[in-house]
Chain A
Amino acid sequence: MGTALQRFVAKENRERVVTGLGWFSIGLGLAELLMPRTLSRLVGAPRKPLLIRALGVREIAAGVGLLTQPKPAPWLKARVAGDAMDLGLLGAAFFAEDSRPARLAIASTAVAGVTAMDVLAAQDAASGTPPSGRGVVHFEHSIIINRPAEELYRCWRNFEELPRFMNHVIRVQASEGGRSHWVAKGPAGTTLHWDAEIINDHVNELIAWRSLPDGDVDHAGSVRFQPARGGRGTLVRVEMQYRAPAGAAGAKIARFLGQSPEKQVWVDLHRFKQWVETGEIARTEGQSAGRPRSTSRKYDDLVRA
């Protein structure tokens, strides 16, 4: 996207950008509402006053939202959706009889520029990550399991058994001194290899580890076993931070492809719970169905990491 643009939309400028986009929306929306015919002539599109007025209303709504609501993220997303709609309409306008292609081209370029700003601002607002390109992602998940901490610690500490409930881990080989070698499925059909070492080990309470240099993955994590509130079993809390292989952009792409480590850990924790509480992991792979695949790619495979 260009570092200049990124810096422009960086944290310090964020509020100014949001306010600017808000007033821009209102200004444009008012023009669409009050002077639809003039606007269509300016932009080179066929005259459709009703449509343009409706777009004006939408624009004003987004603007008001941006200026008055405390969290800009959903309104920025609405702007992006609106931009997509506008680009689509402008594109379709090229095929109309009474269009002026030169003006349409200029208008489309302008809208594309605004779209870029909106997308950046929306991503920024949604993720809360500064677009600094450092690419370190940090997250945590916890789950309550109906078993004593000793049992859970023992199960987790036995790294070679982890592939049972960690879908994306193919194999773990434990060796001396708390080291282990890991092989796992990466995004887009790749295989990841890395070595890890234990940096902290309190029996029945905590295991912390980090990956060693020269591996495919750069991450550190910990799992804690604590009594759950109200005496209802054990709270298992996993914290992880990792540097995405291709920086922040890579992390976003991985998330888009449905293979984010954050989601995988969530699913793995739930599978760990099933394994420990019931002795099996809920599955439908291999069941009967009225189609070649027993499961649904869209609704099952993507969501089961």
Chain B
Amino acid sequence: MKANCWYGKHDMRVEEVPDPEILNPHDAIVKITSTAICGSDLHMYDGFIPAMEKGDIVGHEFMGEVVEVGSEVKKVKVGDRIVVPFPISCGQCFFCQKGMFSLCENSNPNAAEAELLWGHSPAGLYGYSHLLGGYAGGQAEYARVPFADVDHVKIPDDLSDEQVLFLSDIFPTGYMAAENCDIEPGDTVAVWGCGPVGQFAIQSARLLGADSVIAIDQIPERLRLAKEKGGAETINYNEVDSVVETLREMTGGRGPDRCIDAVGMEANGHAHAGQFTYDRLKQALMLETDRPIALRECMLSCRNGGTISVPGVYGGFLDKLPFGAVMNRAITIKTGQTHVQRYLQPLLERVQKKEIDPSFVITHRMKLEEAPRAYEIFKNKLDECIKVVLKP
């Protein structure tokens, strides 16, 4: 089969690789009909994710038709059309049973490695380095899905791929980010980053009852989408002196009640040339692994007693965070890789009830063979790109 494989920084190649096989009794094999590139894939593309090996198949947002099932699979059968969540979860351990699927204790065969870096290991993920299991990913024609009974949602015929593909990752991610804010009536929610996750966070904040949403980015078409589809007020950080000050003015001096960092470790903030230069230099000297420019702004602008929600992906170590601001002002920070399985059914229902059409973020539709070019377009935001869907 054809699959998109990582070969190094800015080096993705679509190659002919062996078809996946049933390896464990709870596995299923899915013939992929649609798959996407995630913003977090770009950290791998840019060489910021360690423990990658040349030839790793990448991709963790995929869906398709079940073509084979293992001997112990009871809840899906050949022919079912499913969306697959990006965390691999057993459903039996302490964390899965508490609904914290992205923290499954049984799905990362390389747990020892993750423990070294992070203290304990989270769940295995598709196509996201050997720290998280080294599982083959879903930017391919077929994929092996472990624990298929737990890790699927069945899709009825009357919904198109584009309407449901994002249940695999970015829609639940934006939703959980908003849910983590504990939004109360009257709240103003500020969202840093208007990429696909930010867009879903904005809309989810509305669905969860926010009074107003302020969206922060530098890319005009993304700010426009946030305004048109999300009803958000916008801040282009290249056009203001200080995001923190602008938010202060917009909220009558108090600051936004809830802040969502949907940017993560490769923050730009060109207008804040000082911070970007500082963090980029520290990254080059290996004194810091991530650039927390957006997170610092969250910490300074959030209102007293407010909540910062972090869906943005970080990998290692941050530097110079104003934690004094966080502690002295009783700010809550909530984070995590999304517990997708928890949200599959509820969010599918919202799509069926037409409360939201996730396909609104798609700007580019390309073939799997064009994946390397697609990564380039997505990374550099060429051609007003917001989200790319690949068809095998």
Contacts and interface: CB of A to CB of B under 8 A. Distances in A.
Interface of A: 144, 146, 232-233, 263, 266-267, 270, 273-274, 277-291, 295-296, 298-300, 303-304
Nearest to A298: B53
Nearest to A233: B94
B109 A283 contact: yes
Contacts of B113: 299, 303
B378 interface: no
Interface in B163-177: none
B130 A296 contact: yes
Interface in B116-162: 124, 129-131, 133-136, 140, 142, 144, 146-147
Contact of B134 (A233, A270, A273, A300): A300
> 3 closest pairs, A vs B, by CB?
A291-B55, A290-B5, A299-B130
A124 to B, nearest CB: 23
A295 B134 CA distance: 7
Looking at A266, A282, A286, which has the most chain B CB atoms within 10 Å of its CB? Answer: A282
A255 B124 CA distance: 26
Given A282-B107, A284-B109, A289 B56 contact: yes
Contacts of B112: 263, 266-267, 303
A62 B272 CA distance: 36
B93 A287 contact: no
B21 A286 contact: yes
A88 B18 CA distance: 45
Nearest to B72: A279
B100 to A, nearest CB: 14
B156 to A, nearest CB: 29
A283 B1 contact: no
Given A289-B55, A300-B134, 10 more contacts: A232-B94, A266-B112, A280-B26, A283-B24, A288-B1, A288-B18, A289-B56, A290-B17, A295-B134, A304-B109
Contact of A270 (B55, B91, B111): B111
Contact of B133 (A266, A274, A282): A282
B46 interface: no
A236 to B, nearest CB: 13
Contacts of B341: none
A39 to B, nearest CB: 27
Nearest to B133: A284
A290 B17 CA distance: 6
Given A284-B134, A288-B1, A279 B26 contact: yes
B3 A273 contact: no
Contacts of A263: 112
Contacts of A287: 20-21, 23, 135-136, 144
B106 A288 contact: no
Interface residues of B, number: 50
Nearest to A293: B55
Interface string B39-78: 0000000000001011111000000000000001000000
B349 interface: no
Contact of A299 (B51, B97, B111): B51
A281 B111 CA distance: 13
B110 interface: yes
Contacts of B72: 279-280
B26 A288 contact: no
Contacts of B93: 146, 273, 277-278
A273 B106 contact: yes
Contacts of A304: 109-110
Contact of A282 (B1, B19, B20, B109): B109
A281 to B, nearest CB: 8
Contacts of A285: 23
14 contacts: A273-B106, A274-B106, A277-B90, A279-B26, A286-B21, A287-B20, A287-B21, A288-B144, A289-B18, A296-B56, A299-B131, A300-B109, A303-B110, A304-B109
A277 B144 contact: no
Contacts of B131: 299
B108 interface: yes
B261 interface: no
B184 interface: no
A282 B53 contact: no
A146 B92 contact: yes
B81 interface: no
Contacts of A290: 3, 5, 7, 13, 15, 17, 54-57
A146 B106 CA distance: 11
B257 interface: no
A280 B25 contact: yes
Interface in B370-389: none
B94 A146 contact: yes
B57 A288 contact: yes
A283 B130 CA distance: 12
B130 A300 contact: yes
Contacts of B108: 282
A303 B51 CA distance: 12
Nearest to A289: B55
B154 to A, nearest CB: 22
Contacts of A288: 1, 3, 17-20, 57, 136, 140, 142, 144
A304 B111 CA distance: 9
B217 interface: no
